[in-house]
Structure 1
Amino acid sequence: MPNIKSAKKRVKVMETKNMQNRMVMSSLRTSIKKFEAAVAAGEADSAKSLYQSASSALDKAVIKGTIHKNTANRQKSRLAKDIARIAE
C-alpha cells in the first residue's frame, strides 16, 4: 500500500481507468461474438448489421485508447473476410 499522497492518487486513477477499459473490452468482445454467431449460422443480412456494430465498437475502443489502431484494423479486416465468405 502506498504511503505517499501522489502514489495513493495513482492507485485510485489506475483503478478507475482499469474499470473503464474492462467495460469497453467487454462490450467489444460481446459485439464480436454476436457477429461470429451470425456468421456461423449463415445469416448474411444480420451479419452485415452486426459487422457495422462490431466495427463501430472497435473504432470506439481505439478512440478511448483501449486497443491499438492496427489491432482494430486487423480485426475489422478479418470480420470483413467472414462476411465475404458467407455472402458467396
Structure 2
Amino acid sequence: MANSPQAKKRARQNEARFAVNKARRSRIRTFLRKVEEAIASGDKSAAEAALRAAQPELMRGVTKGVYHKNTASRKVSRLASRIKQLG
C-alpha cells in the first residue's frame, strides 16, 4: 500500500484513469462488435456503415492513449478487407 502522500495521490489518480480508460475501451469494443455482427450477417451496406461509425471511435482511443496507433489502424484495415470480400 502507498505510504507517502504523493504515492497515495498517484494511486487515486490511477484508479480514476483506469475507470475512464475501461469505459472508453468498452465503448470501442461495442462499436467493433457491431461491425463483426454486420459482417457475420453478410449485410455489406450495414457493415460499411458500422465501420464508418467505429473508425472515429477507434482513432479517438488512440488520441486518448487507450490503443496504439498501429493497433487501431490494423483493426480498421482488417475489418475493411473483410467487408470488401463480402462483395
- Class of the TM-score when normalised by the shorter of the 2 chains: over 0.9
Aligned-residue sequence identity (percent) comes to: 38
Count of residue pairs brought into register by the alignment: 87
What is the 5 A alignment of 1:11-22? 11-22=11-22
Q: How does 1:49-64 map to 2 (within 5 A)?
A: 49-64=49-64
CA RMSD of aligned residues (A): 0.7
Please report the TM-score for the alignment, with normalisation by the length of structure 1: 0.95
Aligned AA for 2:70?
N
The residue type equivalent to 2:75 in the other structure is Q
TM-score under structure 2 length normalisation: 0.96
Distance in 1 (alpha carbons) for counterparts of 2:28 and 2:82: 17
The question of 1:74 aligning with 2:74 is answered yes
Which ranges in structure 1 are unaligned for 5 or more consecutive residues? none
How far is the alpha carbon of 1:54 from its aligned partner? 1.2
Q: Which runs of 4+ in 1 moved over 3 A?
A: none
Indicate the residue corresponding to 1:34 in structure 2. 34
Alignment partners' CA distance in 1, 2:15 and 2:22: 11
In the alignment, which residue of structure 2 is the partner of 1:47?
A: 47
Match in the other structure for 1:23: 23
